[in-house]
Chains A and B, each alone.
Chain A
Amino acid sequence: MSVVFEKTKLLTDKTFHYCPGCNHGIIHRLVAESIDELIKEGVIEEGKVIGVAPVGCSVFAYDYFNCDMYEAAHGRAPAVATGAKRVVGNDALVFTYQGDGDLASIGTAEIVHAAHRGEKICTIFVNNAIYGMTGGQMAPTTLVGQKTTTSPYGRDEAWCGAPIRVSEMLATIPGSYYIERCAVNNNANINKTKRAIKKAFTYQMQGKGFCLIEVLSTCPTNWGLSPVEAMKWLEENMIPYYPLGVKKDKEAE
């Protein structure tokens, strides 16, 4: 009898605390499976993986990823990852996992300069257009017109600007190596997301440069939608504003 499917070793047995229908869980799985497979493929050495969790709903990611982990201050994960990576060098994979409030608001300086330095780390950027953990406030990524607890009349572009497209912005920075935006709204896109994560991790292990995979994600709880409705809302509203695809790949250029 041959084993056709196993639970990934890179996740602990701890039950996720995420809400039903939240995409954080799927994205965790993809990150963990990618690392597992790259270990089997000999790209990453077993036991040489360091993750950095953010402040946001994934603050407890250190309880889920079964490797050396940090929990960073809000927005500072890229700086923490930089400090660790400068010590461990090409021997180990170092990744950050960050939400959109964490990365695109309070942590803009840290992410921009990690990219600017061409820091050899990977960032998994989970964009759900809202501050999930604190109960659904407006993020820099919140869509125009989108209602949140701090934009109760809908985001007003004249008052607080239009949402930031982080991937496109970081792609303009000379130091970034590979940037792709993905979604996990269907099987095809889930597979694409995993391929992107594996590519980013592989580039890092080859010593190439800064890589970021943005993953559009749902927050049914704070969007006030059912999991199914939330996925539909993501497809109809987020994907048109945040187009999927490779924003930069120096290898392919």
Chain B
Amino acid sequence: MAKTLMKGSEAIAEAAIRAGARYFFGYPITPQTEIPEYMSARMPEVGGCFLQAESEVAAINMIYGAAGTGARAITSSSSPGISLKQEGISYCAGARLPAVILNVMRGGPGLGNIQASQGDYFQAVKGGGNGDYHLLTYAPSSVQEAIDIMMYAYDKAEQYRIPVLFIADGIIAQMMEPVEMPDFVDFKIDPEKKPWACTGWKPGDDPEKRGVINSIYISTEELAAHNDVLQAMYKEVVANEQQWEYYNCENAEFIITAFGTVARIAKSAINELKEQGINVGLVRPITVWPFPYDAVSKAVNAESVKAVLDVELNEGQMLQDVKLAVNGTKPVDFYGHCGSQMPTTDEIVTKIISMKEGK
């Protein structure tokens, strides 16, 4: 298939449409406004619906409404807007609605800035909204990877009945890359596959098939039972859906952990260090929930590895999960900046050299 040069945000939007998304609800915010803009032009062409909501709060609740009918719905935003969506995200998780949410992260806290950031890692994987829930959370490091994941994101969301979140730093949305765009999948709402959805029900029909999209379970027993169902599902996701990439881990003296764009910079640093005779490996989580603890631990616990360096475009968030994975077996160092100051190849090289020199 021929590759075409596409801007990240537009490529991701197109992939969502090809994956069957026909309902987009969103609100403008930099650096992801190209997604709603693209959707506003593209959805009418494919018989879909683009609606500019009055706020991110409304947009995520429109997702709740659309996903509850069994349709494939999508919303996108950037950090402050994703904060506003947290209420609705928690409700979607509680009501077990499959949907896709995109966060093109910018610097924070608060209004922060509009540059690329990875500052919402905690929000994405450690909660965000209220209650015991998780989102199947992908952190693509290239436009192509974002497209490829999008093509099965709805299948996963529907299989487990879990909302899927993409966290991408602003760079991935803003850069142009040559990509291969997959074919359209054939998606139609199938009431048989989604007996829980509001697809039309009348008195006399199977009561089990009445759509009741709900997250309230007022009795202690019922809520406990509901959470048991959720926890059992999360266990399955943890068992089946972890994804990561190993790069140059064999005989590595140091292991770098990084996700998203930062992992690409780390790869350049690793290549440069190799030329200088220092062998460094990379573990790049592709799913950040479920976090690939065992994969990190396995790479780090190889005999050759002296220490671990976690690099992020924030002040050290995934660092906590890396430390849990390493569990004290090796020293873990951190290098990173808050939003907008992307760590450079040189900085990572220098940091590894200083670690090697025991500084």
Contacts and interface: CB of A to CB of B under 8 A. Distances in A.
Interface in B32-81: 49, 51, 53-55, 57-59, 61-69, 71, 73
Contacts of B213: 69-71
Most buried by B among A59, A84, A87: A87
B215 interface: yes
Nearest to A112: B54
User: What DSSP secondary structure best describes chain B's contact surface?
Assistant: mixed
A72 B68 CA distance: 11
A182 B244 CA distance: 60
A70 to B, nearest CB: 4
Contacts of B61: 72-73, 76, 79-80, 83, 110
Nearest to B205: A47
A83 B201 contact: no
A47 B62 contact: no
Given A48-B200, A83-B65, A87-B66, A71 B205 contact: no
A86 B58 contact: no
Contacts of B189: 87
A46 B201 CA distance: 8
A86 B66 contact: yes
A10 B203 contact: yes
A79 B51 CA distance: 11
Given A72-B61, A80-B62, A50 B198 contact: yes
A84 B211 CA distance: 12
A76 B66 contact: no
Interface string A75-95: 010011111111110001000
Contacts of A83: 23, 25, 61-69, 73
B302 to A, nearest CB: 48
Nearest to B55: A109
A68 B57 contact: no
Contacts of B63: 83
B65 A73 contact: no
A204 to B, nearest CB: 16
A85 to B, nearest CB: 8
A47 B66 contact: no
B54 A80 contact: no
A67 interface: yes
Most buried by B among A52, A80, A85, A109: A80
Interface in B186-238: 189, 198-203, 205, 210-216, 218
A68 B91 CA distance: 18
A9 B203 contact: yes
B87 interface: yes
Given A62-B214, A71-B214, A81 B55 contact: no
Interface in A93-120: 109-110, 112-113, 116-117
A45 to B, nearest CB: 8
A91 B25 CA distance: 21
Contact of A82 (B65, B200, B215, B218): B65
Contacts of B281: none
Contacts of B200: 47-48, 68, 92
Given A67-B201, A84-B69, A79 B58 contact: yes
B88 interface: yes
Most buried by B among A48, A60, A76: A76
Task: Bin the interface of chain A by size.
Answer: 35 or more
B198 A73 contact: no
Interface string A35-56: 0000000000011101010000
Contact of B51 (A47, A52, A62, A82): A82
Contacts of A82: 51, 58, 62, 65
Most buried by A among B53, B55, B65: B65
A117 B58 CA distance: 13
A148 interface: no
Contacts of A88: 69
A114 to B, nearest CB: 9
B65 A79 contact: yes
Given A62-B212, A81-B65, A86-B23, A109 B203 contact: no
Contacts of A72: 61, 64, 91
B202 A46 contact: yes
B62 A71 contact: no
A84 B66 contact: yes
B116 to A, nearest CB: 30
Contacts of A66: 203, 210
Given A83-B73, A110-B61, A70 B198 contact: yes
B201 A68 contact: yes
Contacts of B210: 66-69
Nearest to B48: A86
A113 B23 contact: no
Contact of B65 (A46, A59, A84): A84
Most buried by B among A60, A67, A92: A67
13 contacts: A46-B202, A62-B214, A67-B210, A69-B210, A69-B212, A71-B214, A71-B215, A71-B216, A72-B91, A76-B61, A80-B64, A83-B61, A112-B54
Given A80-B68, A84-B65, A85-B65, 4 more contacts: A50-B211, A79-B53, A79-B61, A109-B54
Q: Which 5 A-B pairs have the closest CB atoms?
A: A83-B65, A47-B202, A79-B61, A83-B62, A68-B198
